[in-house]
Chain A
């Protein structure tokens, strides 16, 4: 199953992953639009989707599905923006931005992995 693996002890909190993610999907440097988030409250924490798929069951629009490589994805045209998946995500890794009508999540593209200077994130395939 394709997903992002994290090693928080290696993370320096440089934010390169957040920049890369928002650049890749929204062409802007805005961590609020990144699907991976680094926080530093008494220790660094990396929040990113584990592809557990519990959001699939919560979606009443049937807009969330698991693709062939195991990645959980959102069909934007079906999503009605109820944000139930954001509230119910056990990892807190389904994100929402007020400029967007649908939530956003990591699809394990791996772009951030390439930019991480300390190998704190890796891609499992």
Chain B
């Protein structure tokens, strides 16, 4: 379809002219508000208090959302919001991993507040257009695009009936439509979802950027929590930002010399050490497949097992032959770690685009493990096909993989059958059936509609409609808080069980990944040690989300002398780099203690936000037993030597005197008790009461003792 034809069908619903301005030390101190029900567009100032307490990024998103919704708001109510916020450091070009923005809103999966981080150029270009955050509320009657022009100073809501929905086509169309010339495409970033985001609860958002070398639009994903579903529920087809003139000083940093020096230092480190460390520049996060399989923590067949002989078929060697490298594949300028890989031409074998050669944002570890090993499918071309369709249909590969693993185990254990699946034989390993479910999600038909509800709702559906045993499904359904688990087996790491369970948004490893510290290196022997790690690391990683930073350049590359430092797991030199970047941009001197305190403010605010929405207490920090230990005899016996030895060592029980059923139960009692003890220790360390609610002392210490928040804590605390 021609650009002119598409544009002619657009109808202007709302327009807003604003004063261009420059950022000052990383901030514009204003946010952009768009209401799709009323077509109101407005500018909101950011108060000094908000700036000091919430810092930016996820912090700003949470504050805006808190003010925009009530405790009874549902994800599909018009007052739910989608907030996209970079942070004060976001958009600098000198240091790898500084183009992240954070999406915040109420999630269809968890029914409460969610955050998801994403690369691509949208966040930086939004900032340079003059906005610390974009806040979208309301619902359009018909499909719209929102267009922000950061050079003209205009925001438009346009009805957009003719564009495609699926991302791989829509990103090209929107980039083409709003670019004045071929060169201008590099100044555009768009956000899109896809057909399956409409029909499932696991929708994601694709954030684009134009790849000059390939002359193609590429994408990165805000995957977790169902924001694509919210996006399509609001009848948003796309959000476009346009800004010409990116330079390294647009944040008007306090001291650009610090940014230059720190950035060059890390570029040099990556240039000299990446090849001998993780080879991120060549193989991206696929390097993790071998490590996880070797340490028995790669989720296989719905997390029953931690390794498989066939996993070698999904190794980095298997994938890198599909990758096309340019030497600069990062998702924002200056990211020389370049984890984002590209498959330039992949011929699709299934679905509506069968036979088409497409560009694929290549599979990362989570996708390979999720749609691959979790489903018992060890075929790289299946993984690539599935990855492409998940992206273009706008659904999260992690949730898709994890829920498909649950379906396959349910099918094999007789909970559901072919009658339920519409004839699909959803055994582990059946790649064509898995793809069929994915295409059904795209069309909103058949078993795909049930699968798209996610693990939590499927469990209830199977119980209500097919008489399934709820305790078995609760044991094997890899979800917590309503969100599907990301792709690590946490059975042998109690700290990682906490890293998944004691999260604000659900079991996603971006809060804490402690398996190696705990299980492999035994650096966290006591509950207090684990609790300290489950305080420090979630807070440290939260800080990335406030500033607009990516986690990967923190510890996927490390200085040559890191191992000789006091705390190698923290990568002290890189922590100092981040403090320097903060000072370089904002002019404020802070230390690690203050960094952690900044995060605690936002983290505790989010915890109380969960409380406000009817969650955020101890019962919601439960995780399925599959994440803690062997649910079935089959699982126990697959690692019998390990478990038998633990029964002897920790419980002084002679395994030869017990049968497997008894041993499963004894181990289970022990491990569940350990988890509860861990929960107590972590709550104590975080300044929460036994219910998991931040105490008044904690919120007072952090300066978030706002009246409504204090009242809520008092009401909910026993």
Contact = CB atoms under 8 A, between A and B. Distances in A.
A101 B247 contact: yes
A105 to B, nearest CB: 14
A86 B93 contact: no
B336 to A, nearest CB: 5
Contacts of A109: none
Interface in B251-290: 256-257, 260, 263-268, 270-271
Nearest to B330: A60
Nearest to A54: B327
Given A58-B327, A88-B336, A96-B264, A82 B213 contact: no
A98 B261 CA distance: 9
A81 B336 contact: no
A101 B266 contact: no
A57 B561 CA distance: 29
B271 A80 contact: no
B326 interface: yes
A62 interface: yes
B508 interface: no
B249 interface: yes
Secondary structure type dominating chain A contacts: loop
A81 B212 contact: no
B333 interface: yes
A61 B187 CA distance: 11
Given A57-B328, A60-B328, A98-B260, A83 B333 contact: no
A60 B122 CA distance: 16
B26 to A, nearest CB: 16
A59 B212 CA distance: 10
B266 A80 contact: no
B259 to A, nearest CB: 9
Contacts of B336: 58, 84, 87-88
B267 A101 contact: no
Contacts of B247: 80-81, 101
B94 interface: yes
A62 B211 CA distance: 10
B270 A87 contact: yes
A88 B94 CA distance: 13
Given A82-B93, A82-B263, A83-B264, 13 more contacts: A57-B326, A57-B327, A60-B212, A60-B328, A62-B212, A81-B247, A81-B248, A82-B94, A82-B334, A83-B248, A83-B267, A87-B268, A88-B336
Chain A to chain B: the 5 pairs with minimum beta-carbon distance, closest first? A87-B267, A81-B248, A82-B334, A57-B327, A60-B328
27 contacts: A58-B327, A58-B328, A60-B330, A60-B335, A62-B212, A80-B333, A81-B94, A81-B247, A81-B248, A81-B249, A82-B93, A83-B93, A83-B94, A83-B260, A83-B263, A83-B264, A83-B267, A83-B334, A87-B264, A87-B267, A87-B268, A87-B270, A87-B271, A88-B268, A98-B256, A101-B247, A101-B249
